[in-house]
Amino acid sequence: MRPVGSKYLLEEPLGRGATGTVWRARQRETAGAEAAVAGQPGETVAIKVLKEELANDADVVMRFLRERSVLLRLTHPNIVRTRDLVVEGDLLALVMDLIDGPDLHKYIRENGPFTPVAACLLTAQIADALAASHADGVVHRDLKPANVLLDERQGQMRPMLTDFGIARLADSPGLTRTHEFVGTPAYVAPESAEGRPQTSAVDIYGAGILLYELVTGRPPFAGATALEVLHRHLSEEPQRPSTMPEPLWTVIERCLRKEPDERPSAQSLARALRVVAAGIGVHSAPGEVEAALGVGALLAPDPSPAPVPQNPDQQVPGAADATQVLPTGSAAPMGTYDPNGATSVLPPVGADDATSVLPSTGGPAAADPTAVMPPVQQPDAPHPWQTQLRAARERNEQTQMQYLDPSEDPLRRRPQRQAPPPPPRQQPQQPQRPPQYRQAPPPAPYPQQQQPQYGYPPQHQAQQPPQHQPQYAPPPPHYQHPPQQYQAPQPPQRQQPAPAPAPRQQPAPQPPAPREPREPRRRSANPMHIPGLGCLKGCLFMVVLFVIGGWLIWELTPLQEWVGTGRGWWDQMWAMGSGVVDWISELGETTGTGGSGSGGTP
Ligand SMILES: Nc1ncnc2c1ncn2[C@@H]1O[C@H](COP(=O)(O)OP(=O)(O)OP(=O)(O)O)[C@@H](O)[C@H]1O
């Protein structure tokens, strides 16, 4: 048994959620004045020990302490009482009343859905709890069957709403920046998913989903991935099941309005549900049936929904308020989705995470930190998820398409100074090339570019997120948007036949290939090179060639006999040379004589 503070002892875990683990615990001694309920030694309580991530976040601890008065004063017959808050070292814990009974999620799973009347009466009590908390300015923001405990005492089942304030605690700027968010895709209101400002209307939406699930056994919007579920919340109208009584459907439909301003208040909801419960029973009086059919009149939009307080530390409206959107982390790995409705710990949202592949819920304001007005989703504007995914895709495209200036590329420069290394040696280095992320000037003519050898395909592989995010992240790859939302770009160079596999099989470097196209330019690499003698060398070579060729012809052909000199090649050459010299001498003398003659007497 582990002590929590000096007053409590943890006995056994009751369950684990996304934000922490709930323990059955025992009070060791009476709590001090700071506790809402002093308690008695030996009394059993439930203690939710918040996850280390939350407990280690200074913002959460601050908020925990700041909001302790709100949490401790929240008392209602249908709200699980928070008795004490414990902060001890790196431990944050909420001490609650222990509720003897299952939660609604477990109950439905084991017993099936409720009758419409029972569902109405149960949800009416939850709406009572919401009305009380909203009147106190507290919005739950994570309403779902798992957060409703069924207190089974004296043969009665009383729903008890729990986990108040947990979403608020998790709304830490620190967590928003670098960690995770809390929430449940199946119950998330459209405005939360979009990062719009939230009000108590998010709880009404959650109550509508819960009511639907109590009657049918499943939430109205399901899907294989969290993203799919969110998309359905945003774009799909819920369908009335054939067995759903019409007045009850009227209530659900009003709660599930996409526009929060069109949803009723918790108080109206509670009243309407009781009217419906009275009017849809088999023994309902005609007047009750009539009243139930006219229940729409009771469901006027809430004129003054309680706002979710903006986090003063947050600059971006909406970013702090997004309850959550995508599941990841310990509760549900990125890209997986728990259709059972466990609260998901979510990836960072908001404007601070500019590099995130995952969608921001900051909406338009997230892109504009100076925005004063809250972000409003335009009907025609792309969905924030689409925008973010597109941005991620474009980032990838830019990286892939970026041209690398050869002068900046050490792998390309090196071959210009020395014999080019064979292609296979270059490719394994490719993924380590940082220059691929640099901005480079537009491509200059580079006739000896060896793209197939330097391999852009490996660049592409190297920039794949470490699968990924979560991911994400990660996303990334975990967060596969529906195919129509995101198509991986296919730049042409990635289509080129990749030479990579073959070189990898060659164990040793190859000697320089003479057929290398750069060969003519690598004269400096030739040890026979004599600077400035390029042309003369060719002439000398031709003279030598002429002499050797002439010698062979003279000696090996009948030419000697035809000429009739009988001399050997060298003698003949000597004679010819002497003849040429004599001829030139005579020519000089003749010219000289002629010149004096011309200068003589006329
Ligand atoms: N006050 C309580 N008394 C008795 N059992 C409780 C109490 N609070 C929670 N539990 C039980 O502890 C388990 C875990 O609760 P917790 O609130 O952490 O999980 P959750 O609501 O399912 O998930 P999440 O935190 O993600 O919303 C649940 O099965 C719940 O029934």
Type and span of the H or E element at 400? helix 384-401
The predicted model gives 347-371 an average pLDDT of: 31
Testing ligand 1's pocket by substitution, the residue of 11, 45, 47, 103 carrying the most ligand atoms inside 8 A of its CB is 103
Question: Which ligand 1 atom sits nearest the alpha carbon of residue 163?
Answer: 17
Q: How far apart are CA 268 and CA 264, in angstroms?
A: 6
Amino acid 120: pLDDT: 98
Report which ligand 1 atom has the smallest distance to the Cα of 342.
26
Q: Is 343 helix (H, G, I), strand (E, B) or coil?
A: coil
This complex has an ipTM of 0.96
Sign of CA dihedral 147, 151, 157, 159: negative
Q: Which tens digit of pLDDT belongs to each residue from 394-449?
A: 333 222 233 334 444 333 334 333 344 444 443 333 333 322 323 333 333 333 33
Neighbour tally for 363: CB within 10 Å: 28
Residues tagged active-site:
142
Higher pLDDT, 243 or 381: 243
pLDDT in tens, 189-247: 999 888 888 999 999 999 999 999 999 999 999 999 888 999 999 999 999 999 899 99
Is the CB of residue 384 less than 8 Å from the CB of residue 195? yes
**What integer pLDDT is reported at residue 236 of this predicted model?**
95
- CA proximity to 88, closest of 40, 55, 63: 55
| 103 beta partners | 149
Q: Judge contact between 353 and 472, C-beta under 8 A.
A: no
SS3 287: helix
More confident position, 564 or 458: 564
Tell whether the model's pLDDT for residue 260 goes beyond 90: yes
The per-residue DSSP string of 216-242 comes to HSS-S---SSHHHHHHHHHH-PPPPPT
Name every residue whose Cβ is closer than 8 Å to that of residue 280 and which is 6 or more positions away in sequence: 116, 117, 120, 245, 247, 248, 289, 292
Q: Report the relative pairing of strands 2-4 and 82-88 from DSSP bridges.
A: unpaired
Which range, of 330-334, 341-345, 538-542, 572-576, averages the lowest pLDDT? 330-334
Residue 203 CA to ligand 1 center (angstroms) comes to: 18
pLDDT for the residue 472: 24
- The predicted-structure confidence for 385-401, as pLDDT tens digits, reads as follows 333 323 333 333 222 23
Spatial contact of 41 and 27, defined as CB atoms under 8 Å apart: yes
Tens digits of per-residue pLDDT, 21-69?
999 999 988 877 777 787 788 899 999 998 888 888 887 777 777 777 7
The overall average pLDDT reported for the chain is 67
pLDDT band at 171 (very low <50, low <70, confident <90, very high): low
191 pocket-lining for ligand 1 (C-beta < 6 Å): no
Say if ligand 1 is within 6 A of residue 99 CB: yes
The position carrying tokens 């009590």 is 125
Yes or no: say if 162 and 96 are a contact pair by the CB < 8 Å rule: yes
The Cβ of residue 110 has, within 10 Å, a number of other Cβ atoms equal to 8
pLDDT of 284 reads 95
Q: Which of 86, 55, 339, 65 is nearest to 179 (CA)?
A: 55
